[in-house]
Amino acid sequence: MTEEIFEYKDEKNWFIGSFEAFNYFTYFGDDEAYESVREVFHNLLSKLGIEGVQVHVVRMASDFHLLAFLIDMINQKTGRNLKVMQHQGASLVSENDQLLYVHLPKDGLSLETFFGNGGADELGDTILIATRNEGKTKEFRKMFEKLGIKVENLNDYPDLPEVAETGMTFEENARLKAETISELTGKMVLSDDSGLKVDALGGLPGVWSARFSGPDATDELNNAKLLHELAMVFDKESRSAQFHTTLVVAKPGKESLVVEADWPGYIGFEAKGENGFGYDPLFLVGEGDRTAAQLSAEEKNEQSHRGLAVKKLLEVFPEWQAQDL
């Protein structure tokens, strides 16, 4: 059987190719040029999952011409519908409207050049935090900056309706808010639901932590009610409790991501400390004698339920985001 030979030749470029058992590349050029062109060759074939391409480069002046030659070879041999185009000095390979590979010039490109005036501002993913609390948003912004993701909150969408937290569990409430807002906006949304669980009270106040003392609840009233409920519990070990956080990230057409974390401790006999909020003045951290309200912000973020949940989220979020719909 006659081996099929592919060839492209002009005044500055000359490529000869065939299909064999493995990928192989040769080039008549200096070592630096050889390594650069070899990288283009293997990166493209690895990205496309192609084996058996053998190419000999006699001369070459353009990475784009080599990419176009390789794409034409692959399409003819495999029947694929790959396309290669140039954009502002970069070479883009696509198939059926799916971008598969981008090859940049040696020195790269400025974002303004590639995307046009103002286009770079729209680059990158955005996550909408389901809160109007700017302090909480600031904390999440620091976290997602590490992943290259921009953060918005509900203040950026004043027309969105309030989502009633009618769930019976932390996950139900966080999921309800995240998934409802995601469907309304089409955006990736993060919601959290947190609260205090006291073992002697069967897990109360739990999901009702913010309104434990009634519809007009305040932090002071909630703390007073909690001390009243535990008035006859004198042993510290019997006053064990956990702060709990559930984080849910939702995106239309995708299974939501859920992470949870607990912060164990005990309920003290009196409020102590000026920092924090909610039940922090009553929550004795771990086996120590300091309350959460006596910790600095840095100490609290390092060990709290929300801090632990955020660390878990950082570990699993990139993999979840990369999963196919």
- List residues with catalytic annotation: 193
Q: Which residue has the tokens 């309030």?
A: 162
| Burial tier of 283 (Cβ tally within 10 Å: 0-12, 13-18, 19+) | buried
> Coil, strand or helix: which one is 241?
strand
Phi, psi at 55, each rounded to 5°: -135, 135
Give every strand in the sheet of 14-19, ordered side by side.
6-9, 14-19, 53-59, 24-27
CB atoms within 10 A of CB 269: 15
Where are the extended beta strands (E) located within 41-187?
53-59, 82-87, 90-95, 98-103, 126-129, 150-153
Query: 134-145 vs 305-322: helix axis angle to the nearest 10?
Result: 50
For residues 158 and 145, give the distance between their C-alpha atoms in angstroms, rounded to a whole number. Answer: 24
